[in-house]
Chains A and B, each alone.
Chain A
Amino acid sequence: MDDPGILLVEDNGDDEWLALRVLKKAGVSQVTVARDGAAAVRMLHGDERSGAAATCCPGVVLLDLRLPRLDGIEVLKRIRGDERTKGTRVVVLTSSEDPHDKAQCRELGVTEFCSKPFTTQCIAELGLV
């Protein structure tokens, strides 16, 4: 069975570099990166306007909340609202302790949070490998 891999949705270059480094060291090779919310949704669901098909079907989405174009909460809503991805595991990456953000994520069925930057410890705690 193919490794469905991980979709990392992150707009900050440093955080992306750190996460990729940690995942690579942990042996995760199948990682796709989206640098804004709209790009992530296009990868997961395709683009109706251009007719482009979905390009990514990850086992886990590592999702930053503060994203340009489409913020993380909106991406999460779209993921949960689509038959193809409503059951996909989503881990929310966060730098803030905003209780509203976390409450919204919980309402959308996400209970896994990870403080940024993404570390080896996060991989172990989430059992990603």
Chain B
Amino acid sequence: MAGTGIVGDVDGEMTPEEARRLIVELRTRGDELDLENAALRRELAGERSSSGGGVSSNERMLRCIIDAVSDLIYVKDRHGVYRACNKSSEKFVGMPEAEQFGKTDYDFFGREMAESIREVDRQIMESGMECRAEEWVTYPDGTQVLLDTVKVPYCGPDGEIAGVVGISRDVTQQKRLSAQLAELNTELERRVQLRTLELERLNRDLESFCYSISHELRAPIARLDAFSRVIAECAAEGDFVEMVPVVARIGVSSRRLRMVVDALLQMHRLSRADLNREDVDLSGMAQQVVDELMEESGTDGPTVSIAPGVTVWGDCGMLRVCLRNLLGNAIKYTSGAPGAVVEFGRDDRREGRPCFVRDNGSGFDMTHADKLFEPFCRLHPEGEFEGDGLGLATVKRIIERHDGLVWAEAACGKGATFYFTLAGR
């Protein structure tokens, strides 16, 4: 018999002794194999515990990480069927993973949207390239969100593309805030530009005002200097007759200088003083001012008509200065004219219901109306009508401090009307 003898002569007959020894050896060898087998089993079990058992632990760890991510993570197979998603996705869609499993985009979105998504997925799977895009998504409940989505293809065990993994971030709020921020920035920029223009305009006005002041102060001072020289010349020539009118002119020039300085100080005070607004009976105030002006002029003056019941909200002291200048001008420019009339009232038919001071005096050419409220602007020759040149500029400043508007309408020889509005309470 062909065998796999361990010992002995295989060709000859086995003696009983040899057979017994063989049995013992076989048993011993069997025991050894059992031991080796057990050792191998233990070894294999040990390897499993250090590698095979870790696979399930890694899966749990990975799952934990994916669920902790605030972005929406989901997996779709080649047919667009949802196979998995994370907790954020469950929360966002409002549906547990088990329910989402097996559904497609057609179950979540409208047909057009679902087709668009499906097309993108198809392109990713065909090209094997990742894709990133922002898109507005509308859910069946009408919720609209802007998702910033990255999609990548994933491969199965055979190395073939098996579907897409999507990671979406809801950037709706972020986008809204950034749009709001851009809007605020634009608005801020616009306001800065406006403010800059306004400041440039104010600087130009201030510069022009400084030159005007310099002119208005230098001119009478230079005259006083010239008159003093004339007096010196007259004294040297013994011409005392000419000296008399020169002295009178010095007096006039000095008073004019003082008047301009006082007017400038008043304007400065009005620009800085606190505005104490209250209800003001402008009709009553106009009557008081007219009485004062008539008393000061000492002449009969024009017929004055004051509409009753005009009340405004403003600073009593400033409004008195305003009315004094406007009514003073009206009385001045109608002085000596027969049938002169000065009116104060409120025009309810016009927008903003402006108050007005109207006269039928000499008026002025409207082509110069834009300069009317500038400091030291005169529409009549000096001496024809006395004034400090700051009356209307002061009126404008007072009205502007009340957030109102002031303007004039006139015609040469046909009188003038000055309108003003004041901001309401």
Contact = CB atoms under 8 A, between A and B. Distances in A.
A21 interface: yes
A68 interface: yes
Interface string B364-390: 010010000000101111110000000
B375 to A, nearest CB: 12
Interface in A83-122: 95-98, 100-101, 115-117, 119
Contact of A117 (B223, B365, B376, B378): B223
A101 B207 CA distance: 13
A97 B222 contact: no
Given A14-B223, A18-B230, A96 B215 contact: yes
B219 A98 contact: no
Interface string B217-243: 011001100110110000000000000
A36 to B, nearest CB: 5
B252 interface: yes
Interface residues of B, number: 24
Contacts of A18: 223, 226-227, 230
A35 B214 contact: no
A95 B230 contact: no
A15 B230 CA distance: 13
Most A-side CB within 10 Å, residue of B226, B229, B378, B379: B226
A12 B212 CA distance: 16
Contacts of A14: 223, 227, 249, 252-253
Nearest to A66: B215
B108 to A, nearest CB: 72
B211 A98 contact: yes
Q: What size tier do the contact residues of chain A reach?
A: 20 to 34
A97 B378 CA distance: 19
A96 B218 CA distance: 7
Contact of B222 (A17, A101, A116): A116
Contact of B214 (A21, A97, A117): A97
Given A13-B382, A69-B368, A96 B214 contact: yes
Contact of A11 (B223, B229, B382): B382
Nearest to B218: A95
Contacts of B214: 95-98
Contacts of A17: 249
A86 B313 CA distance: 55
Given A14-B249, A98-B211, A68 B379 contact: yes
Nearest to A96: B215
Contacts of A97: 211, 214
Contact of B215 (A35, A98, A100, A117): A98
A67 B214 CA distance: 16
Interface in A1-27: 11-15, 17-18, 21
Contact of A66 (B368, B376, B380): B376
A15 to B, nearest CB: 7
B379 A95 contact: no
B219 A116 contact: yes
A36 B381 contact: yes
A96 to B, nearest CB: 4
A96 B222 contact: no
Contacts of B383: 11-13
A125 to B, nearest CB: 16
Interface in B173-219: 211-212, 214-215, 218-219
B222 A115 contact: yes
B221 to A, nearest CB: 9
B223 A69 contact: no
25 contacts: A11-B381, A13-B382, A13-B383, A14-B223, A14-B227, A15-B219, A15-B223, A18-B223, A35-B381, A66-B376, A66-B378, A68-B378, A68-B380, A69-B368, A69-B379, A95-B214, A95-B218, A96-B211, A96-B212, A96-B215, A97-B211, A98-B211, A98-B214, A101-B211, A117-B226
Given A13-B382, A95-B215, A96-B215, 17 more contacts: A11-B378, A11-B382, A13-B383, A14-B223, A14-B252, A14-B253, A18-B227, A66-B215, A69-B368, A95-B218, A95-B219, A96-B212, A97-B211, A97-B214, A115-B222, A116-B222, A117-B222
Interface of B: 211-212, 214-215, 218-219, 222-223, 226-227, 229-230, 249, 252-253, 365, 368, 376, 378-383
**Nearest 10 pairs of A and B residues by beta carbon:** A96-B215, A95-B219, A98-B211, A11-B381, A117-B226, A35-B381, A68-B378, A13-B383, A12-B382, A95-B215
